[in-house]
Structure 1
Amino acid sequence: MNEPDVRYGRVRRMTREDLPRVLQWRNHPDVRRYMYTQHEITLEEHQAWFARNEHDPARHLLVYEDEWGGCGFVHFHAPGNARIAEWGFYLAPDAARGAGRRLGHAALDYGFSVAGFHKVWGEALAYNDRSIRFHESLGFRQEGVLRDQYFDGQAYHAIVRFGLLHHEWPGTST
């Protein structure tokens, strides 16, 4: 398998030491409003989530780092043997301009070259235009819209689904 392209920064396994910083990013209002779980997560909830998932071989909990340090979180979940992984991600609210695109490249290089996924898929709430454009800019194809799929406590929202195959990602071969 190919090694990830380090010019985009790198992803590494998340550790317990990362929990406070990742929780701070996740609880920021600009991140939280685009998540399915929109309440402010407590440290206890966050620690319990990490304890449930850190040793699960189907889960890849990653911190994205660039030349300025850690500035993003990426999660892949690939249950079973099909090598099809759901991904989710967010950046630190104060991340440098362009960090999102670099995070995407580093994470997908990891997913296809290191983890060996055949497909990565993701979702975005339909009102999250930035995430939709982000997926499209990385080469994801829209695979469907789930109408009125998410209820935020006040209104229903559509969810847009995206997929990217191994051979569609630059630098990988079939």
Structure 2
Amino acid sequence: MLRGATDDDVDTIRRLRNQQANRDVSITSHEIGAAEHAAWWAAASVDPRRRVLIYVRDGETAGVVNFSDLDGTTGSWGFFLDAEGLAERDETLPAWIEVMREATTYAFDELGLDLLTGEVLEHNTVVRQMNRRFRFVEGAASQRGAVSVIPISLRREDRRKK
């Protein structure tokens, strides 16, 4: 299940984002401090072109989904999971599939998008494979600092349906 993030979720969002597994596959991989995170939340929580959602699995916060650059027909997205908690419960793969299904459904059915975009690190072959499973199309890689980033996109008419 996805629900809107609130002020009560801010510390949990930061804790999950700072898990090493999530930092390893993020464009910005430094540990995010309290002041930096507070500034991000202050801006994100009032930005009409953004949605920050909490992914809940079996009653537990299991991840965060971010939508940005929403303009009515297009938007960008990304997510991260509670890598440590899901691994302990041996639920990483089912949660990953579920959050992608719920997030793409939200993008097209709730937000009414026609095109959903995002980015993935070129070396993150596991995520790239899952993106293809969900019918995301990759663009040409570009260098962003020390990492190579691949744009991805999914059109409403190309998405997987239940």
Work out the CA distance in 2 between the residues paired with 1:135 and 1:170: 11
Of 124, 133, 141 in structure 2, the residue corresponding to residue 146 of structure 1 is 141
Match of 1:30 in 2: 21
Work out the CA distance in 1 between the residues paired with 2:64 and 2:140: 25
Match of 1:74 in 2: 65
Q: For 2:63, what is the secondary structure of its paired residue?
A: strand
Match of 1:47 in 2: 38
Work out the CA distance in 1 between the residues paired with 2:49 and 2:11: 23
> Does the 8 Å contact 1:59/1:77 carry over to 2?
yes
> Does the 8 Å contact 1:75/1:87 carry over to 2?
yes
Q: TM-score, normalised by structure 2?
A: 0.89
Match of 1:87 in 2: 77
Of 12, 18, 32 in structure 1, the residue corresponding to residue 3 of structure 2 is 12
Alignment of 1:120-135 (within 5 A): 120-135=116-131
Work out the CA distance in 2 between the residues paired with 1:12 and 1:126: 30
Match of 1:64 in 2: 55
Q: TM-score, normalised by structure 1?
A: 0.84
Q: Structure 2: which 5+ residue stretches go unaligned?
A: none
Q: Percent identity?
A: 26
Q: Which structure shows the bigger proportion of residues in helix conformation?
A: 2
The Cα shift of 1:162 comes to 1.3
The Cα shift of 1:126 comes to 0.5
Q: For 1:112, what is the secondary structure of its paired residue?
A: helix
Q: Which has the higher contact order (CA 8 A, sep 6+)?
A: 1
The Cα shift of 1:13 comes to 0.7
Could you tell me which amino acid in structure 2 is paired with residue 21 of structure 1?
Answer: T
The Cα shift of 1:17 comes to 0.7
